[in-house]
Structure 1
Amino acid sequence: MNLHIMPDWHAYTMTLPDFNDSVQQTQLFLSQGQAVELILVDYLPKLRQILSDKAIEAAETWSVYDLLQRITIKAAKPLALSDFSWPENAQFVYMADCINVQVAGNHFATIGLEQPALTRFEKIDLWTDNARSQELLIDDRGFISRVTTFDDDEAILRRDYLTPSGDIAVQEDCTTGIVTTQQLWTTQTTFVNMAELITAALAYHLQSVPENEYLIMAQSQMATFLVNELAPKQPTILSYQAERTNEQLAKNNLLQASSMTDFSVTDTTEQYGRIMAQIDQEETLAIIPPYVATQQVKRSTGRPFSTVYWRAATITRADFEAVSSVLANHPNVFVLIETSQSHASFDTLIEIASQTVANAHGIVDSDSQMAYKTRFQFVTPQSEVQRTRYMANTRVLLDLSDRPDQFLQTKAITYGVPQINVIKTDYLIPNKNGKLLRDKSELVGTLNFYLDDEHYLEETQETTHQMVAEYSEDMIWIKWQQIFNKIKQRRI
Structure 2
Amino acid sequence: MIYFIPSWQSLSDGPTDFDDIVHQLKMFQKNNIKVEIILPTYLPSIRYQLNRQGLTNIRYWSVFEYLQNIKNNIGLPLKADSLKFPDQAQFIYTPICLIVLYQKSVFAKVYYSKFGGVSHVDYFVNDMVNKQNFYDDRGILSSVIAYDSTGKQIYMNYFDDYQNIKIHHDLLTHQVELEFEGENYIYGSIEELVISYIEQHLKDVRGNHTIILSACLENNYLTNLSHLNNRIIVSFSNQRFKFENKELLNKFLSMADILIADTKFSQRELEKECQSKHRNLTIHELPPFDANLKLGESQSMRQQVIYWYVDNSLAGILPTAIQKLTHRLITHKKNSIVIASKSSLQIRDISNKIFDYVKEFYQVNEESVIYQMAWQALNDDSENRLHDNELNQFSEIKEYQDATKAIEVMQHVEKQVITFEKDINIGLSSARVILDLNNKPDTFLQISGISAGLPQINMKESSYIVDRKNGLILKTINQLDEAIEYYLDTLNYWNESLVYNIEQIEKYSNKNNVQRWIDLVRSNNEHD
TM-score by length of 2: 0.85
Tell which structure's C-alpha radius of gyration is larger: 2
Equivalent position of 1:194 in the other structure: 190
Q: 1:452 aligns with which of 474, 485, 489?
A: 489
Give the 3 Å change call, closer, same or farther, for CA 209–258 of structure 1 in structure 2: farther
Give unmatched runs, 5+ long, in structure 2: 365-370, 379-394
Deviations 1:416-463 (A, max 9, x none): 111111222111122121222233222112212322232233311210
Deviation at 1:148, TM superposition (A): 0.8
Deviation at 1:34, TM superposition (A): 0.5
Equivalent position of 2:282 in the other structure: 284
Q: 1:478 aligns with which of 507, 515, 522?
A: 515
Deviations 1:274-319 (A, max 9, x none): 1121124454221111111111221222112222111223252111
Equivalent position of 2:69 in the other structure: 70
- CA distance, structure 2, for counterparts of residue 264 and residue 163 of structure 1: 38
Q: Which moved more, 1:19-28 or 1:379-388?
A: 379-388
- CA distance, structure 2, for counterparts of residue 372 and residue 392 of structure 1: 22
- CA distance, structure 1, for counterparts of residue 475 and residue 222 of structure 2: 45
Deviations 1:352-387 (A, max 9, x none): 346569999886276654332232234455432211
Count matched residues: 486
Give the 3 Å change call, closer, same or farther, for CA 319–257 of structure 1 in structure 2: closer
Deviations 1:188-226 (A, max 9, x none): 521111111111221221122233132211123554533
SS at match of 1:264: strand
1:384 pairs with 2:421: yes
The percent identity for this pair of structures is 23
Q: 2:169 aligns with which of 172, 177, 185?
A: 172
- CA distance, structure 1, for counterparts of residue 43 and residue 228 of structure 2: 24
Q: CA RMSD in A?
A: 2.5
Q: 1:352 aligns with which of 344, 360, 369?
A: 360
Deviation at 1:350, TM superposition (A): 3.8
1:269 pairs with 2:264: yes
Verify the 8 A CA contact 1:395 1:417 in the aligned structure 2: yes
Verify the 8 A CA contact 2:97 2:112 in the aligned structure 1: yes
Matched to 1:403, the amino acid is K
Q: 1:318 aligns with which of 298, 309, 320?
A: 320
- CA distance, structure 1, for counterparts of residue 353 and residue 149 of structure 2: 42
Equivalent position of 2:306 in the other structure: 308
Q: Which moved more, 1:28-37 or 1:477-486?
A: 477-486
Q: 1:335 aligns with which of 331, 334, 337?
A: 337
Equivalent position of 2:368 in the other structure: none
Give unmatched runs, 5+ long, in structure 1: none
Give the 3 Å change call, closer, same or farther, for CA 139–294 of structure 1 in structure 2: same
Matched to 2:79, the amino acid is A
Matched to 2:309, the amino acid is R
Verify the 8 A CA contact 1:220 1:255 in the aligned structure 2: no
Verify the 8 A CA contact 2:8 2:14 in the aligned structure 1: no
Give the 3 Å change call, closer, same or farther, for CA 302–355 of structure 1 in structure 2: farther
- CA distance, structure 1, for counterparts of residue 506 and residue 338 of structure 2: 29
Give the 3 Å change call, closer, same or farther, for CA 46–354 of structure 1 in structure 2: farther
Verify the 8 A CA contact 1:127 1:134 in the aligned structure 2: yes
Deviations 1:6-33 (A, max 9, x none): 1110166246534222212101111121
Matched to 1:334, the amino acid is S
Equivalent position of 1:293 in the other structure: 291
Verify the 8 A CA contact 2:309 2:436 in the aligned structure 1: yes
Equivalent position of 2:390 in the other structure: none
TM-score by length of 1: 0.91
1:256 pairs with 2:251: yes
SS at match of 1:161: strand
Matched to 1:348, the amino acid is D
SS at match of 1:385: helix
Give the 3 Å change call, closer, same or farther, for CA 206–456 of structure 1 in structure 2: same
